[in-house]
């Protein structure tokens, strides 16, 4: 029976994180493994009010089939937001609503990728993107990211030798590392891609979650013709609504709409209308500021706990936003082995391995700070520090 | 710029129906072109109550990320329904919730199809399936359907010579024809597939909408190992919720879950929970009976109007359920030409062409009866009858 499956589904890495999350269901385990927004911050009451209003005013409309492009009012909001926040002039017609921004990756793969095409991804990079693009049997060209952003020297060489179809980036508070591309890094990256036919994907699910530092321009400002923007309501409102979007040029968006239709006809009108109503009745900027405040405090708490409890030789990022930070263990400590030990100590994280397309048994790990309060973070990081010290001894 | 697109997206037929529907936005046009359930029958008030209950009781759960497999309570309902309605024993673990049953086709394509694979589709057949499977660059083997079901002689020859990977069927109240496979046809079809490795897809979005005649067994009863079942809440509750499902064997469902994750992570928990709540608080059988009653009357009205106003030589199906009927014009009358004339007479339908993967300028057309009341149907069919008579003269 196993020979009935397509070649492409065999290429998709199974989500290792899903497996890990199962281990962390034990309520005595403090988990920094998840990638979830903090549920206590969901605007449940406001969403309920919006749902009621929508069903009262336009119930039969929102429960009927809708346009593949998405609700025009939602697309107008997204266009206005790009204008206000980034000074980008994006037409409503160039925006497609998707069922979460994961679906944007699926649609871009369908429309742009042939088997064997090459594409640049960040190393380490977003597992969901690796999964979505794997369905197209592509060749990944990983380019390392550091605290400054993408390794532009490596990128330049990969672009000139590999002539990739796509470069996939998460320039703000990247998953898994929590790093952001600096202004200089963005400019250097844009210069490398300028004049090439390579398409740049700027995936920005976390951009609004800045709790420190100053925002940088969108990469699209430098590469307006080549850049595809992805966005999401998952981190600023609620992921259970499954709402994201793609902004792309006219010709590409038409192809994406065809792919969207073939994929799931359209995204729920009902959830789209709820968000439109929510945005019109509430101060979403205030709501986002509240999220940023909470995540900033939790990130600060995690960094402080790490100072206290981690042995020297553990390096880590200092995010200015988002939901994750990234740690590098002393050489010789394998994060997968640490995970087994840490689970016994009742603390969990994601070992780095699933975020790389090459190599294994890495000494890196992802820690999520969006879902735990400062007290829990202190206890969890103390446990993890102990586990690392024990590993250090085992290693020595 | 056009050479950036994938080979597969070029293969997807653009939705001709979308283009047609634009013409029918004129409110003076009576349209039998759409494929929509009747919006006046949506249980808006009940869905509002369900949404409120869900957000009050489990707001933070339903707005958070969820399982790729779908809400277990919804899957339990679906399993129970198969047991009750068809006597089929399907495990909850073998059911995957999808974002409408269109997505089920996308996922099946991803998991099962390699480029060049052959698959049997009904002729005429569901356009959305043609679109979804086209993304896999497959070779379609069309097998005609008639009032009895699939042409089993043709099917037998195609199976033995073509060795197709899949056979795609809509055995109840098929789109576009409104026909259902008879008991004998189902048995003959099962006999042909028995012992082969061909997978049978039984897509059943309309099965609950029976307003005449007796139900037939699911094809899965005859081919339990080879059959994949697809279902949808779009026609019995509301399509704007975007909820469907796949039921398949253990190994296949695991692959489908991987594909689902890579595609859009999961379907909205919020809409899933609303349906679970709706189903627990309301008499859905009574609701479905109301829909069947209305559609049955409207179908009857359309058939009666056709008797009165169509010239002899127009043949048509007599559906026992669903939302569509299918008409065949006298030889020499091209439905696309009739469409242009009929639009001037302020009546619209879908010419047959998009439902075929071969040939063009067919003399067939699809008429939707779910969205218009008997009075509107009478006026619209009278107009269409006049247009056909005028075509007849032009042709003569």
pLDDT tens column, B108-153: 999 999 999 999 999 999 999 999 999 999 999 999 999 999 999 9
Q: Where are the domains of chain B?
A: 2-42+286-395, 58-281
List all residues of chain B from 47 to 86 with a beta carbon under 8 Å from chain A: 47-48, 51-52, 55-56, 59-66, 68
The two tokens of residue A75 are 């697309």
Concatenate the DSSP letters of all residues of B48-83 into one string: HHHHHHHHHHHHHHHTS---TT--HHHHHHHHHHHH
Q: Where do the H-state alpha helices sit in chain B?
A: 7-11, 16-23, 44-62, 72-86, 101-112, 127-134, 152-162, 183-193, 250-264, 269-281, 284-309, 335-344, 374-395
- Give residue B394's pLDDT: 64
Q: Report CB contact under 8 Å: B263, A263.
A: yes
> Which of A189, A149, A151, A155 is CA-nearest to residue A170?
A149
Confirm or reject contact between A267 and chain B (CB < 8 A): yes
Distance CA A131, CA A362 (A): 19
Q: Give per-residue pLDDT as tens, B270-304.
A: 999 999 999 999 999 999 999 999 999 999 999 99
Q: What is the DSSP string of B238-264?
A: -GGG--EEEE--HHHHHHHHHHHHHHH
How distant is the Cα of A315 from the closest Cα of chain B, in angstroms? 30
Is residue B218 less than 8 Å (CB to CB) from chain A?
A: no
How does pLDDT run across B58-108, given as a tens digit for each residue?
999 999 999 999 999 999 999 999 999 999 999 999 999 999 999 999 999
CA-wise closest residue to A120 among A205, A198, A174: A198
Q: Which residues pair with B193 in a beta bridge?
A: none
Residues A105-121 pLDDT 10s: 999 999 999 999 999 99
Q: Best residue in A232, A267, A268 to probe B by mutation, most B CBs within 10 Å?
A: A268
- Candidates B305, B296, B365; CA nearest to B330 is B365
The residue among A227 and A34 whose pLDDT is bigger is: A227
Assess whether the previous peptide bond of A124 is cis (omega < 30° from 0).
yes
Query: How many Cα neighbours within 13 Å face the side chain of A359?
Result: 12
Cβ of A239 under 8 Å from any chain B Cβ? Answer: yes
Specify the pLDDT at position A395.
Answer: 53
Hey, are the CB atoms on A240 and B135 less than 8 Å from each other? no
Q: Quote the minimal CA–CA distance from B325 to chain A in Å.
A: 20
Task: Compute the average pLDDT of residues A195-215.
Answer: 97
> Could you give phi then psi for residue B33, rounded to 5 degrees?
-85, -35
| pLDDT of amino acid B233 | 98
Long-range contacts of B277-284 (CB under 8 A, 24+ apart): B277/B50, B277/B51, B277/B53, B277/B54, B278/B43, B278/B46, B278/B47, B278/B50, B278/B237, B279/B77, B281/B46, B281/B49, B281/B50, B281/B53, B282/B43, B282/B46, B284/B236, B284/B237
Chain A touched by B18 (CB under 8 Å): yes
Global pTM?
A: 0.96
User: At the top level of CATH, which class does the domain B2-42+286-395 belong to?
Assistant: alpha beta
The residue to which tokens 């600023």 are assigned: A236
* Structure confidence by residue, pLDDT tens digits, B213-247: 999 999 999 999 999 999 999 999 999 999 999 99
Task: Specify whether the CB–CB gap between B112 and B166 falls below 8 A.
Answer: yes
**Worst-scoring range by mean pLDDT, A14-28, A269-283, B167-181, B307-321?**
A14-28
Place of tokens 């059911």: B95
The Cα of B25 is separated from the nearest Cα of chain A by a number of Å equal to 13
Cβ-nearest to A52 among B39, B42, B48: B48
Overall size of chain A counted in residues: 396
pLDDT at A316 over 50: yes
Is there a common fold for A2-42+286-395 and A45-281?
A: no
What is the DSSP code (8-state) at residue B311? Answer: P
Query: Which of helix, strand or coil describes residue B160?
Result: helix
Of B245, B244, B197, B247, nearest in space to B220 by CA: B247
Cβ atoms B228, B246 nearer than 8 A: yes
Q: How far apart are CA A322 and CA A295, in angstroms?
A: 8
Contacts of A35 in chain B (CB under 8 A): 65
pLDDT interval class at A1 (50, 70, 90): very low
Report ipTM (2 d.p.). 0.95
Partner residues linked to A122 by β-bridges: A143
The predicted-structure confidence for A238-259, as pLDDT tens digits, reads as follows 999 999 999 999 999 999 999 9
In this predicted structure, what is the pLDDT of residue A394?
64
Nearest to B236 by CA among B272, B205, B271, B211: B205
Distance CA A353, CA A364 (A): 8
Top pLDDT among A3 and B170 is at B170
Backbone φ and ψ of A186, nearest 5°? -60, -45
Four-residue CA torsion sign, A233, A148, A189, A363: negative
Write the pLDDT tens digit of every residue in A124-175. 999 999 999 999 999 999 999 999 999 999 999 999 999 999 999 999 999 9
Separation CA B260–CA B201 (nearest Å):
18
Instruction: Give residue A391's pLDDT.
Output: 87
Could you tell me if B92 and B242 are in contact, meaning their C-beta atoms sit under 8 angstroms apart? no
State the architecture of B58-281 in CATH terms. Answer: 3-Layer(aba) Sandwich (3.40)
Residue A239 is classified by DSSP as G
Going by pLDDT thresholds of 50, 70 and 90, the confidence category of residue B21 is confident
Query: Rounded mean pLDDT of chain B?
Result: 95
CA distance A170 to A120: 12
- Selected from 3.30.160.270, 3.30.429.10, 3.90.700.10, 3.40.640.10, the CATH number assigned to the domain covering A45-281 reads 3.40.640.10
- The answer to whether residues B165 and B113 touch, using CB atoms and an 8 Å cutoff, is yes
pLDDT, tens only, B247-268: 999 999 999 999 999 999 999 9
């Amino acid at each position: 029976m196993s020979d009935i499956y397509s070649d492409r589904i065999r290429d998709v890495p199974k989500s290792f994180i899903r497996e890990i999350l199962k281990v962390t269901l034990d309520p005595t385990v403090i988990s920094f493994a998840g990638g979830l927004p903090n549920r206590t911050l969901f605007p449940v009451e406001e969403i309920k009010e919006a749902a009621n209003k929508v069903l009262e005013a336009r119930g039969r409309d929102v429960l009927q089939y809708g346009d593949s492009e998405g609700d025009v009012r939602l697309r107008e909001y997204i266009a206005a937001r790009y204008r206000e926040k980034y000074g980008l002039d994006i037409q409503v017609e160039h925006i497609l609503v998707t069922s979460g921004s994961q679906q944007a990756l699926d649609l871009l793969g369908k429309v742009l990728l042939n088997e064997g095409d090459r594409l640049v991804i960040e190393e380490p990079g977003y597992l969901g993107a690796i999964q979505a693009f794997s369905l197209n049997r592509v060749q990944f060209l990983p380019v390392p990211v550091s605290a400054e952003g993408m390794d532009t020297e490596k990128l330049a060489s990969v672009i000139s030798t590999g002539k990739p179809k796509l470069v996939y980036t998460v320039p703000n508070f990247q998953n898994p590392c929590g790093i952001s591309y600096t202004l200089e890094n963005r400019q250097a990256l844009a210069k490398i891609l300028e004049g090439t036919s390579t398409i740049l994907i700027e995936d920005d699910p976390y951009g609004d979650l800045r709790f420190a530092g100053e925002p940088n321009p969108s990469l699209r400002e430098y590469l307006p013709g080549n850049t595809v923007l992805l966005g999401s309501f998952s981190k600023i409102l609620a992921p259970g609504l499954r709402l994201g979007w793609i902004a792309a040029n006219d010709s590409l968006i038409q192809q994406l709409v065809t792919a969207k239709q073939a994929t799931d006809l359209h995204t729920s009108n009902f959830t789209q209308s709820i968000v439109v109503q929510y945005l019109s009745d509430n101060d979403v900027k205030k709501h986002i500021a509240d999220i940023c405040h909470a995540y900033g405090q939790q990130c600060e708490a995690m960094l402080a706990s790490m100072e206290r409890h981690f042995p020297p030789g553990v390096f880590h990022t200092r995010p200015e936003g988002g939901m994750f930070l990234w740690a590098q263990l002393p050489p010789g400590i394998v994060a997968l082995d640490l995970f087994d030990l840490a689970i016994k100590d009742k603390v969990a994280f994601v070992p780095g391995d699933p975020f790389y397309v090459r190599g294994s048994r890495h000494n890196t790990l992802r820690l999520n700070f969006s879902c735990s309060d400062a007290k829990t973070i202190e206890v969890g990081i103390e446990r993890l520090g102990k586990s690392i010290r024990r590993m250090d001894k085992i290693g020595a």
